[in-house]
Structure 1
Amino acid sequence: MSKFHLNTQELVQGKFKAEKVNLAFVFQVNCPGCFIYGIPMMNDLYKSYKDKFGFIGVATAFEDFEYNNEANLKLLLDNGTLVGETKKYYNTQFELSNYLEIPIFPVGFDRMTPCAELLNSNKIELMCSAIPNFANFSQIEKEILVAKVKSHYAQLPVIAETFTLNQLQGTPSFIIFDENYDISGVYFGHQNEDIIKTKLEQLLR
């Protein structure tokens, strides 16, 4: 069972303590889908289950760094200020300049590490170990893959640790994990709230 690597800076809102069952929501502020589907669902689940499960939001950045940053996360949490493509979507579709469904759950910003620092640490092994069947690769295959991973991420100025170490597909992503940070489920994109809810309740039982 793989581990969830939760590497955030100091939380911007609320506090988080790993419980028996936890739900992490990884999003970007410049991601309209995260606001349309993800945040409302997380708010609903948090209202209903905050006394049973642990909840943590992680604002991350793997692109559009001028929008996806901690300063804009704070503006969102303070008054619903929108930026980039998210702002454009809500202005066009609803003529809204501020987001009405502000996150009420604990939220932190992903730990952003200079590319060279991350790739020259043992965290490169964590990144590769999240790739399916990596442990079964031959030594040569592992070395080739590590070189490809390093070459890919070397093009970025900084790397978001939670997003990258867990090799998430994109945003929004939902990760269910236990108090030992063992992952029970990973979901990417628009999700049915009942599916997430059922999985959480099953694990609690």
Structure 2
Amino acid sequence: MKKLKLHFDNELQGSFKLKKLNILLVFQVNCPGCFSYALPFFNKLYHEFHTENLSFIALSTAFEDFDKNTLENTQNLIKRGTFIGETKKFMKEQGYNKLPYNLNFPIAMDKINDTNTVDLNDAVNAICAINPNYTIWPEFEKKALQHKVKNYLNSLDKIALTFTLNQLRGTPSFVLFNSDYEIINEWFGHVPYEEIQQKIIQFL
């Protein structure tokens, strides 16, 4: 079973404690959809399930706009409810200059490194291992994929470790995982509330 590689340096609000079942929201502060949909959605899940054996963590990340999707802007969001970039434009169009709801769950910042400070071999191996058939491929196919992934990583100036090593498709992303960090289910984009709700109930 695929395992979640969860990396963060800074817990900005609350504290994540690994439980039998855990749910992760990965968002960007410069992501209007994260604010119109994913963060209120995560609040709703938190209010329904935080008293159960389910742990919550929202991770602010960056796979683009590294000048906007920053630790500082995430801290300003949490402390002051302020927006940045496209999110600011979108929320202003909706009539909001500040965040109109509370963020009640633990929040941390994805570990973001310059590519020259990351062990690319470890990163390459982690990304390649996501392919369920990778271990049974012939050696020449493995090397071809390793080369392709290394070139991709070398093309980046910065790497958000959780986002990149798990090869998430974008933001918002939701990941449900167990106490061994095994991924039970993952979702990208707009998901019906009942779909994640029922998956949680199934595994609690």
Give the TM-score taking structure 1 as reference length.
0.94
- Deviation string for 1:79-118 (max 9, x for gaps)? 21010111111112x1322121242100100001221332
Q: How does 1:173-192 map to 2 (within 5 A)?
A: 173-192=173-192
State the match for 2:31 in structure 1.
31
Question: Would you say 1:101 and 2:101 are equivalent positions?
Answer: yes
Given that residues 119 and 150 in structure 1 are in contact (C-alpha distance below 8 angstroms), is that contact kept between their aligned partners in structure 2? no
In 2, Cα distance between equivalents of 1:135 and 1:121: 16
Question: Would you say 1:158 and 2:167 are equivalent positions?
Answer: no
State the match for 1:67 in structure 2.
68
Which stretch of structure 1 is more off in the superposition, 161-170 or 96-105? 96-105
Given that residues 126 and 165 in structure 2 are in contact (C-alpha distance below 8 angstroms), is that contact kept between their aligned partners in structure 1? yes
Q: Counterpart amino acid of 2:92?
A: N
Q: Secondary structure at the match of 1:175?
A: strand
Question: Would you say 1:200 and 2:174 are equivalent positions?
Answer: no
Task: Name structure 2 gaps, 5 residues minimum.
Answer: none
In 2, Cα distance between equivalents of 1:68 and 1:156: 16
Given that residues 39 and 101 in structure 1 are in contact (C-alpha distance below 8 angstroms), is that contact kept between their aligned partners in structure 2? no
In 1, Cα distance between equivalents of 2:40 and 2:133: 35
State the match for 1:21 in structure 2.
21
In 2, Cα distance between equivalents of 1:161 and 1:120: 11
Q: How does 1:117-128 map to 2 (within 5 A)?
A: 117-128=117-128
Q: Counterpart amino acid of 2:89?
A: K
Question: Would you say 1:44 and 2:53 are equivalent positions?
Answer: no
In 1, Cα distance between equivalents of 2:156 and 2:120: 14
Q: Counterpart amino acid of 2:195?
A: I
In 2, Cα distance between equivalents of 1:180 and 1:26: 19
Shift of 1:132: 4.3
In 1, Cα distance between equivalents of 2:121 and 2:152: 16
Shift of 1:77: 0.6
Shift of 1:154: 1.4
Q: 1:147 to 1:119 in 2, by over 3 A?
A: farther
Runs of 4+ in 1 over 3 A off after TM superposition: none
Q: Secondary structure at the match of 1:3?
A: coil
Given that residues 118 and 124 in structure 1 are in contact (C-alpha distance below 8 angstroms), is that contact kept between their aligned partners in structure 2? no
Task: Name structure 1 gaps, 5 residues minimum.
Answer: none
Q: Secondary structure at the match of 1:57?
A: strand
Shift of 1:10: 2.2
Q: Secondary structure at the match of 1:116?
A: helix
Query: What's the RMSD between the two structures over aligned residues?
Result: 1.3
State the match for 1:77 in structure 2.
78
Given that residues 120 and 150 in structure 2 are in contact (C-alpha distance below 8 angstroms), is that contact kept between their aligned partners in structure 1? no
Fraction of identical pairs, as percent: 39
Which stretch of structure 1 is more off in the superposition, 97-106 or 2-11? 97-106
Given that residues 120 and 153 in structure 2 are in contact (C-alpha distance below 8 angstroms), is that contact kept between their aligned partners in structure 1? no
Shift of 1:202: 0.4
Q: How does 1:131-142 map to 2 (within 5 A)?
A: 131-142=131-142
Given that residues 131 and 167 in structure 1 are in contact (C-alpha distance below 8 angstroms), is that contact kept between their aligned partners in structure 2? no
Q: Counterpart amino acid of 1:95?
A: G
Number of aligned pairs?
203
Q: 1:117 to 1:141 in 2, by over 3 A?
A: farther
- Deviation string for 1:110-135 (max 9, x for gaps)? 00122133253423201211134322
